[in-house]
Amino acid sequence: MKLCVIGNKDDKSALYIYEESKKFKEISHSILVTLPKLYIEGYEKIMYRDKDITNYNSCIMHVRCDMFPFSYLVSNILHTKKVALSHEPKASLYLSNRALLAKVFDRAKVKYPKTYLALSPEVSKNIVSKFDKIVFKLANVHGGKGVMVINEKSAAKSIVDSMHSTSKSFYMQEVIEGEVTKLLIIGEEVIGIKEIPKQGENRSNIAQSRISLRPSDELSEIGRKVAKEVGALCCEVDIIEKEGEYYAIDVCVDPDLLMYQKISGKNVANILLNAMLEKKEETKARWDRILWRKLARLLPLPPYSIC
């Protein structure tokens, strides 16, 4: 396998994957590049210096969601060149705007908080006036960032004015308070972490501590269903549990793999690379089937006789 790892700038997780890849005898060659160092040539090639990375047969894309549309175009070109990918092009499209996650969760048939979107300040204010407590989320960031929990209606209306005046893309959600679990999904493997908020905070991204969690079968199934709908071999899914019910709240395709490795004690990069080896074989088999179907339509049927 020839592997290209595409990461963010100063991406320690991407470096972790790359260093582990050099230990695999099945990987004949690997390269680590950052997305800003690439350029697209004629929608045919993806160039890094003098290298065309479409010549690699496998690619792990550990890039931020706000790199759309460049990340989407890169993954789409690699897909058409029959390169095995850590996530399909539709993942970049889905996660380009966090408001689209409502569609992901709906199609995956998992519960999620009631989500509201509006174009005008007046309509947005009418929505927030119905709640004593509401969540504002910026649409173009993930991983627990860009989240505000507002307890006062007057403050919520001020935020609506601020968001619209600065043309920031946002949406609103009902507040569901409960325990937050982060799931790292790599193929069929699911690794769980529980984040404990700091005192006085109800947001898991402001964590006092993190502990390893063995996810239940129900939790694992929710994570796998979301990953399948997003089209990701590897992703992180955030879930809130309230009164025995689970609600998916976020998805990320560039999770902090080192955090999961440290807390779980598992070599998650090794797990991902083994999953990529399987994905490469699946990708080759799928394109072979497509080729044979095309050939079957072109070739004449063999002669037959009626007895």
pLDDT at position 119 over 90: no
pLDDT at position 242 over 60: yes
Distance CA 262, CA 47 (A): 34
For the record, the structure tokens of 231 come out as 């089209």
- Supply the pLDDT for residue 295: 74
Distance CA 250, CA 236 (A): 8
Strands 58-62 and 2-7: parallel
Q: Which residue has the higher pLDDT, 242 or 307?
A: 242
pLDDT at position 235 over 50: yes
Nearby residues of 288 by Cβ (< 8 Å), 6 or more positions away: none
Q: Give the pLDDT band (50/70/90) at residue 204.
A: very low
All CATH 3.40.50.20 domain ranges in the chain, comma separated: 2-95
Q: How far is CA 161 from CA 123, 140, 164, 272, 278, in A?
A: 11, 19, 5, 44, 50
Q: What is the mean pLDDT of residues 277-282?
A: 90
- Supply the pLDDT for residue 152: 87
Mean pLDDT over each residue of the chain, to the nearest integer? 89
pLDDT at position 183 over 90: yes
All CATH 3.30.1490.20 domain ranges in the chain, comma separated: 114-174
pTM of the model: 0.87
**177-264 domain in CATH 3.30.470.20?**
yes
Highest mean pLDDT among 45-49, 153-157, 164-168, 291-295: 45-49
End-to-end CA distance of the chain: 51
Q: Which CATH architecture has domain 2-95?
A: 3-Layer(aba) Sandwich (3.40)
Fold entry, domain 114-174: Dna Ligase; domain 1 (3.30.1490)
pLDDT in tens, 65-99: 888 899 999 999 999 999 999 999 999 999 888 88
Radius of gyration of the chain (CA): 22
pLDDT at position 203 over 70: no
**% of the chain surpassing 90 pLDDT:** 64
Q: How far is CA 195 from CA 154, 205, 252, 275, in A?
A: 30, 8, 16, 26
- β-partners of residue 30 are 3
- Supply the pLDDT for residue 169: 84
- β-partners of residue 155 are none
- Supply the pLDDT for residue 302: 62
Distance CA 22, CA 6 (A): 15
What kind and span of H or E run contains 195?
A: strand 189-197
- Supply the pLDDT for residue 168: 78
Lowest mean pLDDT among 87-91, 104-108, 153-157, 196-200: 196-200
Distance CA 35, CA 70 (A): 9
Nearby residues of 239 by Cβ (< 8 Å), 6 or more positions away: 180, 181, 182, 183, 219, 222, 223, 246, 247, 248, 249
Mapped onto helix, strand or coil, the DSSP state of residue 65 is: helix
Q: What is the largest CA-CA distance in the chain?
A: 86
Highest mean pLDDT among 95-104, 158-167, 252-261: 252-261
Nearby residues of 53 by Cβ (< 8 Å), 6 or more positions away: 4, 6, 31, 33, 38, 46, 47, 59, 78
Q: Give the pLDDT band (50/70/90) at residue 199.
A: low
- Supply the pLDDT for residue 286: 75
Peptide bond into 69 cis (omega under 30): yes
pLDDT at position 214 over 50: yes
- Supply the pLDDT for residue 125: 92
All CATH 3.30.470.20 domain ranges in the chain, comma separated: 177-264
Q: Which residue has the higher pLDDT, 306 or 103?
A: 103
Q: Give the pLDDT band (50/70/90) at residue 36.
A: very high
Q: What amino acid occupies position 227?
A: A
Q: What amino acid occupies position 98?
A: R
Q: What is the mean pLDDT of residues 169-180?
A: 88
Q: Give the pLDDT band (50/70/90) at residue 219.
A: very high
